[in-house]
């Protein structure tokens, strides 16, 4: 069973997306940092935690 329907997540993301600042890819000169996780993936993970209450 899904925690949230995909269309609900899409609607909430559409409302929140405009408040997230745009950030370009920043590359470290030595190439030693991890790549940035997309904002949408992080947002979905936060929603999952809020809906399910898992720790």
Return all residues near 34 (Cβ < 8 A) that are at least 6 apart: none
Look at residue 1 in the predicted model and tell me its pLDDT.
55
Q: Which tokens hold the place of 21?
A: 């600042």
**Residue ranges of the domains in the chain?**
1-10+37-55
- The Cα 38–Cα 25 span in angstroms is 11
Return all residues near 20 (Cβ < 8 A) that are at least 6 apart: 39
- The Cα 37–Cα 25 span in angstroms is 11
Look at residue 19 in the predicted model and tell me its pLDDT.
94
Look at residue 6 in the predicted model and tell me its pLDDT.
85
User: pLDDT tens-digit profile of 13-43?
Assistant: 999 999 999 877 777 777 777 778 889 999 9
């Amino acid at each position: 069973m899904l925690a949230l329907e995909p269309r609900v997540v899409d609607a909430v993301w559409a409302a929140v997306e405009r408040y997230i600042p745009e950030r370009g890819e920043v590359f470290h000169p030595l190439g030693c940092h991890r790549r940035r996780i997309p904002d949408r993936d992080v947002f979905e993970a936060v929603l999952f935690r809020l809906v399910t209450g898992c720790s």
